[in-house]
Amino acid sequence: MLVLIKLCSILILLIGVQSNPDRRKNYSQLKSCDIGPLAEEIASYESVVKNIINYVVNGPFKGKTYDELSKFVDTFGARPSGSQILEDSIDYMIQLTKDEDINDIVTEELEVPHWMRGKEEITMIEPRIKNIDLLGLGQSVSTPSEGITAEVIVVNNFEELAEIPNEVVEGKIVLYDPIFTTYRETVVYRSQGAVRAAEKGAVASLVRSIAPFSINSPHTGSQNYNNNVKKIPTAAISIEDADLMRRLFNRGQKIILNITMTSTSETKTSRNTLIDLKGTLNPEKLVIVSGHIDSWDVGQGAMDDGGGLFVSWAVPVILKQLNMKPKRTIRSIFWTAEELGLIGAYAYEEKHRNESHNINFIMESDEGTFAPRGLAVGGSQKARCIIAEILKLFESINASTLVEEDSPGSDISVLIKTGIPGASLHNANEKYFWFHHTEGDTMNVESPEELDLCAAFWTAVAYIIADISADIPR
């Protein structure tokens, strides 16, 4: 299992955990999109889409997704991997589902990392005394009990660090100060920064929070050690403090920090949760909707990924209430331990590898549940053509955009890389990274109306894919 966790960490280095808008393109740029008679069949679902949207946005389900999410978040708050509160929240979701008269529920156990931060302090000693806000990065090692006191070197990128002689870096703290472009391009300084700094002899590394906006709010996240390189403490600081140190450094002023960080790390048992709404004609074939139930230990995990969890929970619930049974089975998966390395997704892929040919399509919401705009789709050109045709049915709610993404989603990327077609929710998440992995990830970020739209969209798309005559081609 430890090998599995290491492999998970390596994958995050390679693919990141968020989609990169710069790598996407509108579907209209692709050359051919002729799906023949299937287009007419898909168009016949127009009334189905209208009924689902009306039921969720204006009818009996109005506000329910938000209400249930708020009760969940208010009850449990943050749900770190391996914690008892995460396991209690899984039990809660199982009972909540049973209360909706859905009982085809299975949990699958797996080992997960349980990393807990302890004391975390940074004090700037020179050129003046100042407390620096920080959040240790996931799985960071501790400092000695007296902390680490050292001079800071500020760099923009890895190339700049590589040009500095090792003897200049030795014994110092490296601060990465990259300007946020896209998440995937910038997150490497969080995930790889400690290793790169340690290779040059640094005693600790810091990173400017991976975000475009801040109110002195550090953003945590995963980082990845290399067992062949000394592990050094690593943390994120706010954009404001990174800018301060950059200005001081550029003026030639010596910056000395004292960093004190403690943490513990162990292995625990957790569970993926699988909820099935059985298909009427081909129950062995699956259309999967999903979100991860764990969160970081800061904030309350309302946005990342409480919203995605609850719109995926809502799919079988809404269809059950409407007495709508698709031909294929719709499976809702609540992934565990996503934040520390897609652990739940790797375990699911390994356990179900011999059945993967039955996964018709897989979907995930893990980039916010703001107003839906469409889907980011990975798969063959014909698969994208079919999904594009389905999305035409959602023009009334401005959710008909298909964007091309080779590796959409976080957890589902583990399965998509094996050839399974899939998609992540494309939504109006321009402010997602304002709150991502911070204390600001609370219910205040969520909107009842936007959650209704997401739940209706997610449900209707999943139903159509699960019910049309053709499988989604690989």
- In a domain, residue 6? The reply is no
Q: CA-to-CA distance for 285 and 329, rounded, in angstroms?
A: 6
Could you tell me if residue 18 is inside a domain?
Answer: no
449 inside domain: yes
Query: Which structure tokens are listed for 103?
Result: 């009982």
Among all residues, which ones are annotated catalytic?
A: 338
- Please indicate, yes or no, whether residues 286 and 389 belong to a single structural domain of this protein: yes
Domain for residue 335, yes or no?
Answer: yes
Cα–Cα dist 157/95, whole Å: 48
Q: Residue 350 burial (CB < 10 Å; 0-12/13-18/19+)?
A: exposed
The Cα-based distances of 62 to 54, 65, 160, 194, 398 in angstroms read 9, 8, 53, 47, 19
Report d(CA 195, CA 384) in Å as an integer.
Answer: 39
Same domain? 338 vs 437:
yes
The whole-number pLDDT of residue 19 equals 37
* Per-residue buried b or exposed e for 367-404, using 16+ beta carbons within 10 Å of the residue's own CB: bbbbbbbbbbbbbeebbbbbbbbbbebbeebebbbbbb
What is the rounded CA–CA span in Å between residue 56 and residue 315?
A: 11
Burial label, 112 (beta-carbon count in 10 A; 0-12, 13-18, 19+): buried
Residue with tokens 């959040």, as numbered in its chain: 135
From the list 453, 452, 463, the residue with the least C-alpha distance to 324 is: 463
pLDDT value at residue 30 = 52
CB 195 within 8 A of CB 224: yes
* Whether 310 and 366 share a structural domain: yes
45: three-class secondary structure by DSSP: coil
307/313 Cα distance (integer angstroms): 10
Q: How large is the angle between the packed helices 64-76 and 307-321, nearest 10 degrees? A: 130
Which residues form the domain of 385?
Answer: 24-104+278-467
Residue 429: inside a domain, yes or no? Answer: yes
Same domain, 455 and 414: yes
Cis peptide bond N-terminal to 127, omega within 30:
yes
Residue 40 is encoded by which pair of tokens? Answer: 């007419």
Q: What is the domain-level CATH number for residue 142?
A: 3.50.30.30
DSSP 6: H
Q: What is the count of structural domains for the chain?
A: 2
Q: What is the pLDDT along the chain (474 residues), one digit of tens a residue?
A: 433 433 444 333 333 333 333 334 444 445 578 999 999 999 999 999 999 999 999 999 999 999 999 999 999 999 999 999 999 999 999 999 999 999 999 999 999 999 999 999 999 999 999 999 999 999 999 999 999 999 999 999 999 999 999 999 999 999 999 999 999 999 999 999 999 999 999 999 999 999 999 999 999 999 999 999 999 999 999 999 999 999 999 999 999 999 999 999 999 999 999 999 999 999 999 999 999 999 999 999 999 999 999 999 999 999 999 999 999 999 999 999 999 999 999 999 999 999 999 999 999 999 999 999 999 999 999 999 999 999 999 999 999 999 999 999 999 999 999 999 999 999 999 999 999 999 999 999 999 999 999 999 999 999 999 999 999 999
Tokens of 373: 């705009």
| Domain co-membership, 136 together with 97 | no
Domain presence at residue 69: yes
One domain for residues 306 and 449: yes
Alpha-carbon 257 to chain mean position? 32
**Under 8 Å between Cβ of 233 and 260:** no
In a domain, 401, yes or no: yes
| Cα–Cα distance, 157 to 115 (Å, whole number) | 28
Same domain, 322 and 447: yes
Alpha carbon distances (Å) from 441 to 12, 297, 368, 432, 444: 22, 11, 11, 9, 8
Phi/psi of residue 157, nearest 5 degrees: -160, 175
Tell me if the bond preceding 305 is cis, omega within 30° of 0.
Answer: yes
Contact 114, 255 (CB under 8 A): no
Q: 184 in helix, strand or coil? A: helix
Q: Is the sign of the CA dihedral 439, 440, 444, 446 positive or negative?
A: negative
Looking at 231, 263, 295, the residue that finishes a domain is: 263
**Dihedral pair phi/psi, residue 27, rounded to 5°:** -60, -30
Do 256 and 138 belong to one domain? yes
Cα 386 to Cα 392: distance, rounded to the nearest angstrom: 10
Q: Domain check: are 327 and 372 in the same one?
A: yes
Q: Does the pTM of the predicted model rise above 0.95?
A: no
Structure tokens at 302: 């309302």
Distance CA 329, CA 286 (A): 5
CA dihedral 59, 64, 65, 68 (to 10 degrees): -170
Nearest to 209 by CA among 184, 255, 164, 176: 176
- Same-domain status, 382 and 242: no
Does residue 231 lie within any of the structural domains?
Answer: yes
Residue given tokens 């067992």 in the structure block: 227
Domain of 430, CATH number, reads 3.40.630.10
92 and 134 co-located in one domain: no
Indicate if 226 and 342 belong to the same structural domain.
no
